[in-house]
A = this chain, B = another copy of it.
Amino acid sequence: MTAPAQPAAVVLLSGGMDSATTLMLARDQGFRCHTLSIDYGQRHRAELDAAAALAAEYACDHRLVAMDLRAIGGSALTADIPVPEHEPGNQHIPVTYVPARNTVLLALALGLAESLGASDLFIGVTAVDYSGYPDCRPAFIASFEELAGLATRAGTEGGQFRVHTPLINLSKADIIRTGQRLGLDYRHTISCYQADAQGRACGRCDACALRRQGFADAGVADQTRYQQLASA
Contacts and interface: CB of A to CB of B under 8 A. Distances in A.
Interface of A: 36, 63-69, 71-76, 98-104, 106-108, 110-112, 114-116, 134-135, 137, 139-140, 143-144, 146-148, 150-153, 155-156
A99 B73 CA distance: 24
Count of identical protomers in the assembly? 2
Contacts of A143: 143, 146-147, 150-151
A147 B150 contact: no
Contact of A72 (B63, B68, B103, B155): B63
Contacts of A69: 65, 108, 111
Contacts of A66: 67-68
A185 B198 CA distance: 55
B111 A72 contact: yes
Contact of A116 (B74, B104, B107, B108): B74
A147 B65 contact: no
Contact of A111 (B68, B98, B116, B137): B98
